[in-house]
Amino acid sequence: MPLCVVGSLAIDHLITPRGEYPNCLGGSASYFSYVASFFAPVRLVGVVGQDFPQTSWDTLKSRKNIDTSGVQVQPGKTFYWKGEYSADMNSRETLDVQLGVFGEFDPVVPEQFKDSELVFLGNAPPAVQRKVLQQVPKPKLSVCDTMDLWINIAKPELLHLLKEVDGVVMNDSEATLLTGDKTMVGAGRRILDLGPKFVVVKKGEHGAMLFSEFGVVTTPAYPIEDLVDPTGAGDTFAGGMMGYLAGAGRLDHAAFKRALAYGTVVASFTCEGFSLDRLKKLTRKDIEDRFVLFREMLNL
Amino acid sequence: MPLCVVGSLAIDHLITPRGEYPNCLGGSASYFSYVASFFAPVRLVGVVGQDFPQTSWDTLKSRKNIDTSGVQVQPGKTFYWKGEYSADMNSRETLDVQLGVFGEFDPVVPEQFKDSELVFLGNAPPAVQRKVLQQVPKPKLSVCDTMDLWINIAKPELLHLLKEVDGVVMNDSEATLLTGDKTMVGAGRRILDLGPKFVVVKKGEHGAMLFSEFGVVTTPAYPIEDLVDPTGAGDTFAGGMMGYLAGAGRLDHAAFKRALAYGTVVASFTCEGFSLDRLKKLTRKDIEDRFVLFREMLNL
């Protein structure tokens, strides 16, 4: 089933305890589409400035499963983010952010993308996410991401969006910010009450939780030995999850559980290198091999 | 295989967002032995004062699998702990603690307990834990718990102990305190380097991790809907884990994975009531039913 993703494409400057990595490919939609393309055709909608590096284009276009015809090139600068992680890499500080052309992003879903059966609305203002949803009239599955900023400054729009999508993916601190509930079982349930049919709460090194009519599923993170850079872990988690569902062509509960596991597995690879470096060396076989280890670890 | 546990027996005064519960049964060995007794015969070594309530004796003696003949009754007061949990119950503050007879606890392992094949050294000064180990000469499996206090004030003794036991169970903040490593994969590995053959790191609502020569196993917590009082969750986790191993009579890697899962399941019941209230209504069938749900949740 074809999968359409809308989100940011960025130039990142990353600082982690493992080193500094300037001028690299970043953005939620970059990470998402790259890993999702291992599972299914991905249609990418986004915007970059004229400074978007050729190497970043090359990275995206190296994946035959990614259709970049929905990426607009606008006069101006590409979204830029510079961030530094704490010693344990569980928190990070934004040192510089320049929205550039992403600040005025008016997403246009190309005609040939409108029959997408799965849609992922990467982090963007909820009003922008809703605009996308209106352009893809009948997806079988629509899922949005969000962030603390929109919960703080655009909550009414976000609540609107949550009534229109099938599912939402957010991290634990955002789930608490949105609901006021510090327990994840509680926060997840409260978000379900806001409209979506399912909620995925990402907990970083502590894994993820899925809330739906079938109850709660918790899954741990894959224990990696070599944490280099967690940037994009959440986006690749979503990309692996949605990509798996698109590739499997099934949206039942068992498929969702596997989708969480594939999201977990690809996110673990993401953390093993700066930017998309580890992912660029990834093969479908690497993913399957680690999935088998993960399944075995959880098999009682 | 008979299991011997040494640890505290206490009178607790608990305050959680769900209410206040004074003068109830507490202590690491109470929780541990109660749940372990669902799986195997448990030999309990501890000390109480003359004020230890008859209702608490009744609770322990109601479990035919618990042999309380190793509990000394000393002149003086029973260990008393009063604590209050934060709104999300992820942290707690000690409001009052009086060691009473536990402060001078000189554990004596009765003759009839000395052939125990599994030994669990509940939280106590490392020097006291080592004394117990010397009295049970050849266990097939010895495991200790510890706490931040001993890491801070008795680290050399604790490091000695870690070279003598087969395994150690501690929570995430203690693992970080002991190793200086804030990532659990890192901290767990470093503790292995200190001597034990395996390390279990308890992460509360985020589950647990097992480190051994077979690598890392992570398991999530069982998602409970009705969190009443987390007191004893860590102790019952250890009790379910050790109890399962004792009952299964196997100490291979597959048994350890299942043991983690049983620990997780019994800990989830503990949190559903104050003190041991939920556990007192528990049946082996309840445990098995929830284990099946947990296994199914993790089954990919």
B contacts of A222 (beta carbons < 8 Å): 218
When scoring A16, A181, A298, A299 by the number of chain B Cβ atoms within 10 A, the one with the most, hence best to mutate, is: A298
Selected for mutation to probe chain B from A91, A200, A218, A268 (highest B CB count within 10 Å) is A218
Alpha-carbon gap, residue A204 to B56, rounded angstroms: 41
Asked if A59 and A31 count as a contact pair (C-beta separation under 8 A), the reply is no
Of B185, B213, B200, B214, the C-alpha closest to B264 is B200
- Alpha helices (runs of H) in chain B, residue ranges in sequence order: 28-36, 54-61, 126-135, 148-153, 155-164, 172-179, 184-193, 233-248, 253-270, 277-280, 284-298
Contacts with A257 from chain B: Cβ below 8 Å: 297, 299-300
B184 touching A, CB under 8 A?
A: yes
Dist CA A37 CA A240 (whole Å): 9
**Would you call A92 an interface residue with chain B, using a CB distance cutoff of 8 Å?**
no
Q: Is B300 on the interface with A (CB under 8 A)?
A: yes
Q: How far, in Å, CA of B244 to CA of A270, rounded?
A: 37
**Contact state of B89 with A298 under an 8 Å Cβ cutoff:** no
Per-residue pLDDT at B87: 87
pLDDT for the residue B143: 98
Residues of chain B with pLDDT under 50: none
Task: Give the best residue of B92, B258, B297 to mutate against chain A (max A CB count within 10 A).
Answer: B297
Average pLDDT over residues A296-300: 96
CB atoms within 10 A of CB A149: 11
Whether B217 sits inside 8 A of A183 (CB atoms) is no
The question of ipTM being above 0.85 is answered as: yes
pLDDT beyond 90 at A211 = yes
Sign for the CA dihedral angle at B181, B185, B189, B192 comes to: positive
Angle of helix B172-179 relative to helix B184-193, nearest 10 degrees? 60
**A212 CB near a chain B CB, below 8 Å?**
no
Shortest CA distance from A176: residue in chain B: B88
Shortest Cα distance, chain A CAs vs residue B152, angstroms: 21
B205 touches chain A (CB under 8 A): yes
Task: Give the best residue of A206, A222, A228, A292 to mutate against chain B (max B CB count within 10 A).
Answer: A206
Tell me the per-residue pLDDT of A231-258, one tens digit each, with 9 for 90 and over: 999 999 999 999 999 999 999 999 999 9
- The predicted pLDDT at position B90 comes to 83
- Out of A88, A258, A291, closest to residue B183 by CB: A88
The pLDDT of residue B225:
86
Q: How confident is the model at residue A117 (pLDDT cuts 50, 70, 90)?
A: very high
Mutate to test the interface with A, among B206, B260, B272 (most CBs of A within 10 A): B206
DSSP conformation class of A37: T
Residues in A closer than 8 angstroms to B189, CB to CB, are 225
Residues A223, B203: C-beta atoms closer than 8 Å: no
CB B292 within 8 Å of CB B261: no
Is the CB of residue B170 less than 8 Å from the CB of residue B143? no
Do B183 and A298 count as a contact with CB atoms less than 8 A apart?
Answer: no
Are A140 and A251 a contacting pair, CB within 8 Å? Answer: yes
* Closest residue to A257, CB basis, from B220, B227, B300: B300
**Do the chains contact at A206 and B206, CB–CB below 8 Å?**
yes
Of A88, A216, A298, the CB nearest to B300: A298
Q: Is A154 on the interface with B (CB under 8 A)?
A: no
Distance from the B100 Cα atom to the nearest Cα atom in chain A, whole angstroms:
35
Task: Please give the average per-residue pLDDT across A167-191, as a whole number.
Answer: 94
**Which letter does DSSP use for residue A229 in this model?**
-
Give me the residues of A, 30-89, that contact B with CB < 8 A.
87-89
Instruction: Give the C-alpha separation, B177 to B46, whole Å.
Output: 27
User: Is A184 within 8 Å of A172 (Cβ atoms)?
Assistant: yes
* Nearest CA-CA partner of A169 in A132, A209, A201: A201
Contact in structure between B7 and B28 (CB atoms under 8 Å): yes
Whether B207 sits inside 8 A of A227 (CB atoms) is: no
Q: Which of A182, A225, A298 sits opposite B298 (nearest CB)?
A: A298
Q: Which chain B residues are within 8 Å of A294, Cβ to Cβ?
A: 300
Q: What is the pLDDT of residues A8-20, one digit of tens each?
A: 999 999 999 999 9
B221 touches A at CB < 8 Å: yes
Interface of A with B in 280-299 (CB under 8 A): 291, 294-295, 297-299
| Chain B contact set for A218 (CB, 8 A) | 207, 220-223, 297
Could B300 and A258 be called an inter-chain contact, meaning their C-beta atoms sit closer than 8 Å? yes
Inform me whether the C-beta atom of residue B224 falls under 8 Å from chain A C-beta atoms: yes
So what's the pLDDT on residue B167?
98
